[in-house]
Structure 1
């Protein structure tokens, strides 16, 4: 199933791999609860290796380690266990173009139809690889070429990936302004992207304004809103510093006035449901919910929509 060709309103979810050394059962516990709602697809995030310090035999060693490994294993396991389309994240940072080609060949072998391309965060301790792309559009071009049978150094079997990329209703924090940010998004689409999943936002007007600006640039591929339920005042205060997004004043005030954690939870859920209803009135293709490995907020939303 190609995400770009889904006609009816759909719900999809994102999961993150468990921490190194933890069990995939952590993922199953989340998806087991969500699967009965028939999500259109499940996306799985990817994390690059970072340099960390370890004491080994009295010596301090600096070693590469992925905090949340197993993305591709989880993709295969979810596909087999639930018979649901699974979408792996592919990151430029931390992967060479040669490694990415091999990874794409493996994904083609196991029948993956859709991939989601991101540049990745430029953290100071992330290991940079030779042959690593600097921009997401470069990886989109590589995949688009593989779909035409053009591999890095040979012509071979055509793949058939539907390529998704990220969009930012409040602009990427590195972009000087929204106009510049949309130029980068347009470049990814011109390179071959067929759908967009947005960064989280908490005011439907941000998404609507974003899409209207894209229409003026003749961008008509599906723009899928990324939804993150806020369920506590603490998380509402923390999110802007991590994801560079705004929290509406009314939502923050309502969370602050809640007397218990349960009240906070339902304040956030009601806000999310109301926002989704307004988005559906506008005419969104579907919603993509970031689970953050917490199924309860997602279930509450799914029950109500």
Structure 2
């Protein structure tokens, strides 16, 4: 089933993101994590596309296939394009077809200062258009409630997002945010621009000071004054900060569901216990 089709039968859609796990630097099986997440009845699970070479990428496909075949959950596979040629993408798409994986989250990917980017794809909309020309794939794309860090302003950011949808993206997943007002303002901009595809709100619970600092550095998300007070009060108390981070994320989700968002996408960081605590706090608000 196409991810976009799920939104025709349920609202809000609930989904999780996981990544190929490692233990002592070695890629390991993700089935235990998926088994725990399955208990929460997700509508789909996304699997990130590794930056660590072919072994990580192959693990992404294997995890996605296991999600579909062993756990009967719809998977979506991340696919980046800066480091891939058209020939690379063709090879990947053939493997995805072989595995029965037809849902793709098409991303540009980050610039790698240690490796030259390929010239075939410079932007995600180019990858989306190419994938759509190569088979019956359902393509999702990313969106940024506070604007992409490289966008000069929110108007240009919205224009570029419209290009992704016009290229064939039929579903959007938002970058994480910690102030719901950013998401609501983004929704208004998107809908006014004629972007009418389903949009998932991406939520990540902040569970440690190190994680918070890393996320702010990577994605530029703003930390509201309310959360900064929580961080200042509990930064030296890991257990308390974990509880506060989960409570903050749950408050976000409850507000989003109350306002009628299309879907909730939890960035689990491969921690199903945290995902379960958040899910149990809002599960009574959704139609199972």
TM exceeding 0.5: yes
**Does the residue aligned with 1:90 lie in a helix, a strand or coil?**
strand
1:227 to 194, 199, 203: 203
Q: 1:283 to 1:72 in 2, by over 3 A?
A: same
Q: Which residue of 2 aligns with 1:153?
A: none
Q: CA offsets, 1:102-138, max 9 Å, x none?
A: 2212222322231100000002013534x53111111
Alignment of 1:147-166 (within 5 A): 159-166=135-142
Unaligned runs of 5+ in 2: 283-288
1:142 to 130, 142, 147: 130
Number of matched residues?
276
Alignment of 1:1-305 (within 5 A): 1-6=1-6, 7-8=9-10, 9-19=12-22, 22-25=26-29, 27-49=30-52, 65=53, 68-69=56-57, 70-129=59-118, 132-146=120-134, 159-258=135-234, 260-305=237-282
Quick check: 1:92–1:136 contact (8 Å CA) kept in 2?
yes
Larger CA Rg, structure 1 vs 2? 1
Q: 1:82 to 1:127 in 2, by over 3 A?
A: farther
Deviation at 1:66, TM superposition (A): 6.1
Q: Distance in 1 between matches of 2:153 and 2:275?
A: 32
Unaligned runs of 5+ in 1: 50-64, 147-158
TM-score by length of 1: 0.85
Q: 1:126 to 1:302 in 2, by over 3 A?
A: farther
